[in-house]
Structure 1
Amino acid sequence: MQENKETPERKRERLRQEELKGNPTGSLNDAFNRAQSGGLADLVGSLGWKGTGILILLLIIGVIIASIFLK
């Protein structure tokens, strides 16, 4: 078997990575659309590390605000 032949999984991943680099705001929209029908791993995977950090930050801020108002 040839080692230089690209498998379909690797080709899909390579194309997905190229799309993420070329259209970052589109990937954010895709992430939220996938979140409606997919899981958390799909959301985090398509957001990237910056989007995931922002999502975590928003969750933490939401918990802090909720705890202040519910005291």
Structure 2
Amino acid sequence: MNNRQEHPKEKRERLRQQELKRNPGGALRDGFSRGENGNLTDLVGDLGWKGTGLLIIVLLVGYVLYKLLF
């Protein structure tokens, strides 16, 4: 066995896979509702801090440009 620690992203995926095995219908329903509502936590977790900062900057610049043009 390797002594490598599990990253949070890997742990979330492992727990998600275990839940799918135990309760496939409930996981499917959760997936549909998550897709409808969006999940900011997953988005930010996948982007990391640099990607999140870039997303915020792009949104702010877009908002400023929108206000200037309209």
TM-score by length of 1: 0.48
TM-score by length of 2: 0.49
